[in-house]
Amino acid sequence: VLLEALISCGVAMSIAGLDFKGFYDYADGNNGIAIAESNSAELLLEATAAWTVFFNFTIRPIVPSDKSLAICEKAIAWRDSIR
């Protein structure tokens, strides 16, 4: 709802291929976070480029915990195999 309101008043732009999942505020009152899904780093740049004079962005890919566990186990097994 927030994104739609920002788009309708011209504050944000709709970018095909960039799916905002939600906006959250940190409980300590300092800043917030948006969760968005995209297969393109270029789309993330397009979404943030106009705002970089006002805000600092940190864009970090995330992996669901149920998938990251198997990836980390595989990496640790490989690391342990080369000792």
pLDDT band at 11 (very low <50, low <70, confident <90, very high): low
Structure tokens given for 12:
């944000």
Structure tokens given for 35:
């969760």
pLDDT band at 69 (very low <50, low <70, confident <90, very high): very high
CA distance 20 to 23: 8
Q: Among 3-12, 28-37, 52-61, whose mean pLDDT is lowest?
A: 3-12
Q: Of 10-19, 55-64, 66-75, which has the strongest mean pLDDT?
A: 66-75
Q: What is the pLDDT of residue 67?
A: 94
pTM of the model: 0.64
Give the 3-state secondary structure of residue 16.
Answer: coil
Half-sphere exposure of 46 (CA within 13 A, CB side): 12
Closest by alpha carbon to 40, among 21, 53, 59?
59
